[in-house]
Amino acid sequence: MNRHPIIEVRNLDKFYGTFQALKDISITVHQGERVVICGPSGSGKSTLIRCFNALETHSSGSLTVDGVDVFEGSKEIRRLRQEVGMVFQQFNLFPHLNVLENLMIGPIKVRKISRAQAERTARKYLDRVHIPEQAEKYPAQLSGGQQQRVAIARSLCMETRIMLFDEPTSALDPEMINEVLDVMVELADTGMTMVVVTHEMGFARKVADTMVFMEDGRIVEVAPPDMFFTAPASERCRMFLSQILEH
């Protein structure tokens, strides 16, 4: 793989008071790579990817994202966040704005792009997530799956180079999970760098280049999916997989 690293984490620790949420994390994500992070709840997966766009600040260790050294108080962080999209478990759409405005507010206010240009971009990405007809609606009028697809489009409208997904399907009703995953698979096909925290192992098998298993604030295993699913090296990973794949 002749790609250059886009996220580099070295010996990262994260404390909440005396509780250590992340322990000595080191991992590299390359450009265009699709990384799926899984693990039991409370294992620090979400905390880790929230560090990637500085929604959480790490306590020690180094973190470089897209060439930017991330640390608390860095002036570069806001520029970095424009390059790194984040999709949340609870969608977090802006309820007072309609779908189109949700997509346009970032480009207009942050990137200072013209309204007309921003609207063209917004409609393009609404097409991409298959809901062009919902442009004028408000988030509360949409189903969960549609809301999450709007949230993905909102990040894409910033012309991001990296997409982070924090359990994007966990708050969805089962019948809506696939419409979101389909959009994510299509996004993966465009060569986007993606880091996804999820328990959707079918999705992981289909798109992941690298599987990461976390437990108790540590990275326990990093492996390509075929190895990860067939012959996990660690006992804990094997147990976790048997729990979520059984049935």
Partner 1 sequence: MRTFIGRMRWPDYLILAVLVFFFGYIWYTIEGTLNYKWRWELIPGYIIGYNADREAYFANILLQGLAATIRISIYASLLALVFGTALGIGRCSKNLTIRMLARTYLELLRNIPPVVVVFIFFFFLSQQLIDALDLARWSRGIARQEDIWLWEFFFGDMRRFPSIISGVIVLALFESAFVGEIVRAGIQSIPKGQWEAARSIGMNRFQELWYIVLPQAMKKVIPPLANQFISLIKDSSIISLISVQELTYKTVEMVASSRMIFEAWITTAGFYFVICFGLSQLFSRLERRREGQG
Rule CB under 8 A: which residues touch partner 1? Answer: 53, 55, 78-79, 81-82, 84-86, 88, 90, 92-96, 105-106, 109-111, 140, 151, 154-155, 158
Q: Which C-beta is closer to partner 1: that of 76 or that of 186?
A: 76
The contacts of residue 130 (CB under 8 Å, 6+ apart) are: 149, 179, 183
Q: Which C-beta is closer to partner 1: that of 55 or that of 135?
A: 55
Reduced to 3 states (helix: H, G, I; strand: E, B; else coil), residue 28 is strand
Which residue is associated with the tokens 């089962």?
174
- Residue 179 CB, shortest distance to partner 1, in Å, is 21
Q: Which C-beta is closer to partner 1: that of 167 or that of 221?
A: 167
Cα separation, 7 vs 117, whole angstroms: 30
Number of H helices, E strands in the chain: 9, 10
- Residue 99 CB, shortest distance to partner 1, in Å, is 14
Q: Which C-beta is closer to partner 1: that of 37 or that of 163?
A: 163
- Residue 93 CB, shortest distance to partner 1, in Å, is 7
- Residue 237 CB, shortest distance to partner 1, in Å, is 30
Q: Strand pairing partners for 28? A: 8
Cα separation, 237 vs 243, whole angstroms: 10
